[in-house]
Structure 1
Amino acid sequence: MASVSGSVAGPIGILGVLFPSVVSSGIEYIIFVAALISLTLAVMNILPIPALDGGRWFTMTDFPSNLRKDLTKEREENIQATGMLILLILTILVTISDVGKLF
């Protein structure tokens, strides 16, 4: 578990790694890193996780009817809210971990 947390970083950790190298690098490097981050965010966004676009597409497909339950508006809102809560908690944990690595 310690090796995973040492190799994963959130926005603060990414900036901590990139900022020293940006000073000595050119504009091409900055554009490349920005494109890489944008591509990574696009891929993450299409994953079938509730509260992301992929999760919305997943719940709107025929999958819920395979569970023999109707997908009501209230049930879908609960699924999306739970997914958002999990993502927010994960964001807070990663940020705390990043700040802890700085000190």
Structure 2
Amino acid sequence: MAIVETVVVGHVTGFCLLLAWAIYRRGAVDLIAGYDGDLPPEREAELARDAAAVLIVSAAASGLIVVNAWTGAVPRPGALATVAIAAAVGWFLWKWSGRAPDAG
């Protein structure tokens, strides 16, 4: 069963890392759902960094499930992954929802 979990979660992890790379390195912030292109370039770069960070945290948290599948050493990997991803997404939403662009 560990191989199946590794393949399935590996695809999800790879997709998260690919999106993080595309958003951060290629400046493809239009991949971020709900972004309408109204930020100045420096804020857009900050948005790209933050979105990439959330995706990297999600990939790392998903990796806990694979580690547990092979070793059984991670207590409650599903709960830990869920809390880590929810915390990262919550932080991102708190930071970017309803916040007006900085003046100046």
Answer whether TM exceeds 0.5 for this pair: no
Q: Which has more radius of gyration?
A: 1
* Structure-1-length-normalised TM-score: 0.37
* Structure-2-length-normalised TM-score: 0.37
